[in-house]
Amino acid sequence: MNPAVLKQYARRKRSHKIAMVCSFAAAALGLLALAWILATLFAKGFGGLNWAVFSEMTPPPGGEGGLLNPIFGSIVQTVVATLIGTPIGMLAGTFMAEYGRNTKLTMVVRFINDVLLSAPSIVVGLFVYEIMVRPMGHFSAWAGSVALAILVLPVVVRTTEDMLLLVPDSLREAASALGAPRWMVIQQICYRAARAGLITGILLAIARISGETAPLLFTSLNNQFWSTDMNAPMANLPVVIFQFALSPYEDWQRLAWVGALIITLAVLSLNIAARALSAQRASDR
Amino acid sequence: MLDGVVKVLTRIAAITVLVMLGGVIVALVDGSIPALRAYGFSFIYTESWNPVTEKFGAAAPIFGTVVTSFIAMLIGVPLSLGIAIFLTELCPPRLKRPISTAIELLAGIPSIIYGIWGLFVLAPLLQRTLQPWLISAFEDIPVLSNLFAGPPYGIGILTAALILSIMVLPFITSITRDVFETVPPMLKESAYGLGCTTWEVVRDIVLPYTRTGVIGGVMLGLGRALGETMAVTFVIGNAHRIANSLLAPGTTISASIANEFTEADGELYTSSLIALGLILFVITFIVLAGARLLLARMKRAEGK
């Protein structure tokens, strides 16, 4: 064969090989990053994991203690935020998929919602500071919960709309033909058919907010002590990790790692549960 | 009757989403009025940030935000595209799901975890290895020696950018992978039939076909990087100045707000930080809206 052609062959083969090795290396690097972060968390956090972490309050520097109040605060604020954000999100998603399908309002809401989905969470913190903390004159767990609820909203809107749109119209028509009013069709047929997907969305929303720090920094602030008062500042795990990790005290830093491990495990299990749920639904069909 | 009530209720909920956006803008503008009145347009290009003399300018945080995100994109985009190519073209089918899931889990890790990991693991490592190497390697090259000058602090602009590049991986990867999979198999098979290598198929068929979607995905990642707060706050060093060197500490808009907001005393200080938030929101809104428009266009083209 012509040597010029052979040379071109060799060149093409070489660039193919280089590209494929790079692509393989990129994937390996991505997996390495995940493994490295998880390994660090276990190495630094697992040793400190004991019963005291779940039963004692945050200690003063140099003292003994656990993470009970921030864990409790995180759970309370996450639950309240989910309770506020989910119903509004589901109703909005229902409008977009059922009553207002293909209307202009739906199109605008979908676009804005998609933008809000990845908007910086610290801006949400500033917003809630302006509308709640400043007028009320103090930081509070309510403000923190509202900030988190604002982050829940777009996630739930998005998944609700997507999941309801997957429900075949023939189901709706069959129910309507039996004389069911629209709200009943939605509630009895559409919600039931899309149940796994709707739950997935809520789980993802909870996973999203349970690790959020930025919107809580100046809404629910932090609290060194046990507090169940929603009108007062409340401790929460992410902010405590932030404060403890950046402190010069070694025992605080150790607790920060324990907290980091707990939060990561919780968030990743929520993520995996959501994934398993939606995979199961896919195989059902 | 009941149906009408339900319909109105859902409609109100949908409008709430719009109200939320409007509320954020109004609240931020309202909060930043004192700062904007005091400094006017010069706020954007003033570098000084001095709480004692109450002279505030946004130049350093804006610079830090843009530079860290830009470097993060330089590293993160090729990596994400590489992973997406691996997943769609090279990966054995059996491993496809687990590897995709693992990469997507990177998005699930809270940003504060990236921060604590970056501060205690990555920064010391960079201080010992990459940074001294960069300093000595570029010592004699005119422009680059400035870029990589100064003592290796460990923390700083470059470290923040590296962490951001890991954080944007899952977002860009999952979108590019999805759009890569929309390429009609017929198109790819034809190219293979003509004797193209996998790389040539990716470069000449897949990438041109999916260009709009890929750019949309990259912009979505950029939007994330611009607004990322906690991870950056840990490792940026929080220094309000524009340094020539990438190894020097700096600050970003979000890191300044996170670090200083609760400690800010005086109306002007608080208001300046809120004005920073407004600038950040406007920048990310434009980037994210652009990303969504491109992705929507891609979807429409696909539907035809």
Q: ipTM score of the complex?
A: 0.92
Chain A positions in Cβ-Cβ contact with residue B85 (cut-off 8 Å) = 19, 23
CA distance A74 to B279: 30
pLDDT tens by residue, B63-89: 999 999 999 999 999 999 999 999 999
This prediction's pTM: 0.93
| Cβ pairs bridging A and B (under 8 Å) | 262
Q: Does A116 touch chain B (CB under 8 A)?
A: yes
A window 129-148, beta carbon within 8 A of B: 129-131
Chain A neighbours among B 252-271 (CB < 8 Å)? 254, 257-258, 261-262
pLDDT in tens, A255-278: 999 999 999 999 999 999 998 888
> Which chain A residue has the Cα nearest residue B115?
A242
Chain A partners of B261 at a C-beta cutoff of 8 Å?
Answer: 126, 129, 217-218
Tell me the per-residue pLDDT of B39-54, one tens digit each, with 9 for 90 and over.
988 999 988 898 888 8
Is the pLDDT at B94 greater than 70? The verdict is yes
Cβ-defined contact of A88 to B199 (cutoff 8 Å)? no
pLDDT band of A281, cuts 50, 70, 90: low
List the single residue in B102, B116, B203 with the smallest CB-CB distance to A31: B102
| B256-278 pLDDT per residue, tens | 999 999 888 888 999 999 999 99
Work out the minimum CA distance from B156 to partner chain A, whole angstroms.
Answer: 16
pLDDT at residue A253, rounded to an integer:
92
Rounded-to-integer distance, Cα A4 and Cα A25, Å: 32
Candidate from A89, A94, A126 with C-beta closest to B274: A126
Asked if B210 contacts B180 with a C-beta cutoff of 8 angstroms, the reply is yes
User: In this predicted structure, what is the pLDDT of residue A150?
Assistant: 96
Are B3 and A114 an interchain contact pair (Cβ–Cβ within 8 Å)? no
pLDDT at A52: 87
The pLDDT of residue A284 is above 80:
no
